[in-house]
Amino acid sequence: MNNDQLLQQFVQAVSDVLEEKLDAKLKAELQPIRADIQEMKLDIRKLKFDVEELKIDVEELKNDVEVLKTDVKVLKTDVEELKADVEELKTKVDSLERRVTSVELHIENKTDKHIQIIAENHINLSKKLDEAIPAVNKQGVYELKVDYLIKKVDKLEMDVAELQEKMA
């Protein structure tokens, strides 16, 4: 064997020894990396499971949102109906207020006028009575007149209250 062959065998032997040492060193260095990879695989599986749970939760949320949207549409419809009803009630209340005011004015005007007529007639009757019976105490006649008018006013007030109740 010549030197070249010897040198080649020596290089091969050194290379084999180095390769074995490198393989052992690499294996030792790769061991923690392999453990990390295994841990990462477990973490990825856990993440996949968590993502699946999130997908299920998102689907439930989507369903809940759809139900809420439907409920909101129903509520909007109800609110629109209520608005229309309230507007109708406002119109009716305004009309009723005008009618009550009109009735109040009518009653007031008629009642005042009738009371005045009654009072005038009563005074005329009282004068005629005084002329017919001069001995009657004028104070007593006036008291009777006032009592009569008070009773008449009370009756008219009750009638007005009754009309107001009917109008309400």
pLDDT digits (tens, 9 = 90+) for 114-160: 777 777 777 777 777 666 665 555 677 678 788 889 999 999 999 99
pLDDT digits (tens, 9 = 90+) for 93-105: 998 898 888 888 7
For residue 16, is pLDDT > 70?
yes
User: Which residue segment(s) compose the domain that 116 sits in?
Assistant: 3-167
pLDDT digits (tens, 9 = 90+) for 28-79: 666 676 677 778 888 888 988 999 999 999 999 999 999 999 999 999 999 9
The answer to whether 156 touches 111, Cβ cutoff 8 Å, is: yes
Q: What is the pLDDT of residue 101?
A: 85
**Under DSSP, is residue 37 helix (H, G, I), strand (E, B) or coil?**
helix
> Is the full-model pTM beyond 0.75?
no
Q: Please give the Cα distance from 33 to 27 (Å, whole number).
A: 10
Q: Estimate the share of the chain in helix, then strand, then coil, as percent rounded to the nearest 5.
A: 95, 0, 5
Q: Please give the Cα distance from 105 to 111 (Å, whole number).
A: 10
pLDDT digits (tens, 9 = 90+) for 17-34: 766 766 666 666 666 766
Q: Please give the Cα distance from 10 to 3 (Å, whole number).
A: 10
State the total domains in the chain: 1
